């Protein structure tokens, strides 16, 4: 369902900014409520809303009394605005796992839950309460209420980070997953109440810090970790989002000679490395074979001729390809191979090898084709 009007309290905070962006992508209209909004603003926004996401709250106030004034007080204001609207407006409440505790913050969040649950029990509309653990992701504020944001910000700038107990447990939920949960609740017609938060990543402070430090070290070594799934994927996105603009790009080494240039783009620990090379017209590169190593070539500019020769039988094979007809050419163990630029301009090829280049054991034996 799209084209709705959604009121978002705490709209200028970390979660609020991410939620507003996603709602905009769906074509929804967002009515933002912030600390600058008046009581009348809340009543006007809620009266127009098809749904409310209540994110407003105090996490680290200078005066502990603000916990109750903001967390409980904003929940009370919202229930009053909902009652005045006289419409069935579903509510999403971003509570905290600390609502189970007995400190000032926990009590204030629990009091907010109680107020909103009481409103939901009147049958006016469902109230979905999410007790969130530590939320992390892009736009989280460093040195505020997210250790992950602080680690990413400092490590990206080569600043020290403070860890009192590396073994301290840490439960994390990623911002994109939180937004998915909120949107699913807004789109559902299920009864309100406490909603499941998943996936939650259970780790330690030391493990998270080590992973984030590894991102910086890997970048300096032209490496990449397994950043495509799970917690590491989410931490990597958060780290990259924390980079200063001066680090949005970085140089790589390019080896140049009269034949052209060869540059290693990216190396992995488990799935080889990616490179590219250029060749001037008439230039032949290669002229070797491998026992175990395999490679994949893709010509992205120009025209190339690949030649192969079986090292035992002498059988030969020739493949001609160009950038207009994308085609992977794979080198085969036990076959000598070379590639020649048979076009009129510079040839450019992407290259993937299934293993990192090891100078001590290169598995590359010179042989004419």
Sketch the domain layout of the chain as residue ranges. Answer: 5-210, 254-366
Rounded CA gap, 156 and 245, in Å? 11
Q: Which residue from 215, 208, 222 is spatially nearest to 268, judged by alpha carbons? A: 222
Query: pLDDT per residue over 216-257, tens digit each?
Result: 999 999 999 999 999 999 999 999 999 999 999 999 999 999
The predicted structure's pLDDT at residue 133: 97
Q: Tell me which of 93, 105, 174, 276 is the catalytic residue.
A: 105
Residue 149 pLDDT > 70: yes
* 3-state helix/strand/coil string of the chain: CCCCEEEEECCCCHHHHHHHHHHHHCCCEEEEECCCCCHHHHHHHHHHCCEEEECCCCCCCCCCHHHHHHHHHHHHHHHHHHHHHCCCCCEEEEEEHHHHCCCHHHHHHHHHHHHHHHHHHCCCCCEEEEEECEEECCCCCCCCCCHHHHHHHHHHCCCCCCCCCCCCEEEEEEHHHHHHHHHHHHHCCCCCEEECCCCCEEEEHHHHHHHHHHHHHHHHCCEECCCCCHHHHHHHHHHHHCCCHHHCCCCCCEEEECCEEEEEEEEECCCCEEEEEEECCCCEEEEEECCCCCEEEEEEECEEEEEEEECCCCCEEEEEEECCCCCEEECCCCEEEEEEECCCCCEEEEEEECCCCCCCCCCCEECCC
Q: Which residue from 238, 167, 236, 174 is spatially nearest to 203, judged by alpha carbons? A: 167
Query: pLDDT per residue over 181-191, tens digit each?
Result: 999 999 988 88
Query: pLDDT per residue over 17-61, tens digit each?
Result: 999 999 999 999 999 999 999 999 999 999 999 999 999 987 776
144 is catalytic: no
Query: pLDDT per residue over 176-213, tens digit each?
Result: 999 999 999 999 888 889 999 999 999 999 999 999 99
Which CATH entry fits the domain spanning 254-366: 2.60.120.650, 2.30.30.40, 2.60.120.10, 2.70.98.20? 2.60.120.10
Residue 122 pLDDT > 70: yes
The predicted structure's pLDDT at residue 1: 56
The predicted structure's pLDDT at residue 2: 66
Rounded CA gap, 364 and 293, in Å? 8
* Number of residues written out for the chain: 369
The predicted structure's pLDDT at residue 30: 98
pTM exceeding 0.95? no
Mean pLDDT of the region 164-168: 97
- Torsion angles phi and psi, residue 102, rounded to 5: -125, 25
Q: Which residue from 75, 95, 90, 152 is spatially nearest to 126, judged by alpha carbons? A: 90
Residue 157 pLDDT > 90: yes
Cis peptide before 199 (omega within 30 of 0): yes
285 — pLDDT class (breaks 50, 70, 90):
very high
Rounded CA gap, 30 and 24, in Å? 7
Superfamily of domain 5-210 in the CATH hierarchy: NAD(P)-binding Rossmann-like Domain (3.40.50.720)
The predicted structure's pLDDT at residue 117: 93
Are the C-beta atoms of 146 and 138 separated by less than 8 Å? no
Q: Tell me the pLDDT of the chain averaged across its residues.
A: 95
Rounded CA gap, 88 and 65, in Å? 32
């Amino acid at each position: 369902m799209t084209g709705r009007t959604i009121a978002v309290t705490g709209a200028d905070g970390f979660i609020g900014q991410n939620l507003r962006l996603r709602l905009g992508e769906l074509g929804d209209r967002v009515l933002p409520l912030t600390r600058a909004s008046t009581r009348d603003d809340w009543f006007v926004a809620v009266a127009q809303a098809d749904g409310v996401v209540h994110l407003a709250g105090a996490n680290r106030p200078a005066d502990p009394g603000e916990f109750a004034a903001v967390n409980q007080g904003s929940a009370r204001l919202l229930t009053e605005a909902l009652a005045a609207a006289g419409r069935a407006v579903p509510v999403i409440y971003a509570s905290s796992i600390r609502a189970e505790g007995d400190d000032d913050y926990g009590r204030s969040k629990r009091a907010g839950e109680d107020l909103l649950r009481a409103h939901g029990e009147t049958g006016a509309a469902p109230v979905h309460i999410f007790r969130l653990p530590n939320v992390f992701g892009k736009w989280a504020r460093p040195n505020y209420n997210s250790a992950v944001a602080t680690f990413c910000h400092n490590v990206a700038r080569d600043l020290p980070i403070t860890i009192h107990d590396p073994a301290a447990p840490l439960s994390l939920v990623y911002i994109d997953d939180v937004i998915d949960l909120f949107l699913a609740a807004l789109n559902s017609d299920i009864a309100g109440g406490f909603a499941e938060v998943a996936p939650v990543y259970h780790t330690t402070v030391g493990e998270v810090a080590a992973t984030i430090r590894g991102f910086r070290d890997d970048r300096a070594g032209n490496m990449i970790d397994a950043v495509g799934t799970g917690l590491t994927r989410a931490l990597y996105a958060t780290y990259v989002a924390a980079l200063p603009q001066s680090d949005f790009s970085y140089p790589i080494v390019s080896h140049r000679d009269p034949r052209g240039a060869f540059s290693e783009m990216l190396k992995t620990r488990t799935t080889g490395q990616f490179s590219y090379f250029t060749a001037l017209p008439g230039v032949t590169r290669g002229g070797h074979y491998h026992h175990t190593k395999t490679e994949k070539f893709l010509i992205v500019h120009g025209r190339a001729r690949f030649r192969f020769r079986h090292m035992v039988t002498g059988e030969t094979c020739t493949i001609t390809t160009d950038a207009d007809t994308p085609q992977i050419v794979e080198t085969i163990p036990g076959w000598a191979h070379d590639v020649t630029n048979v076009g009129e301009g510079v040839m450019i090829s992407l290259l993937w090898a299934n293993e990192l280049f090891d100078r001590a054991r290169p598995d590359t034996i010179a042989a004419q084709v």
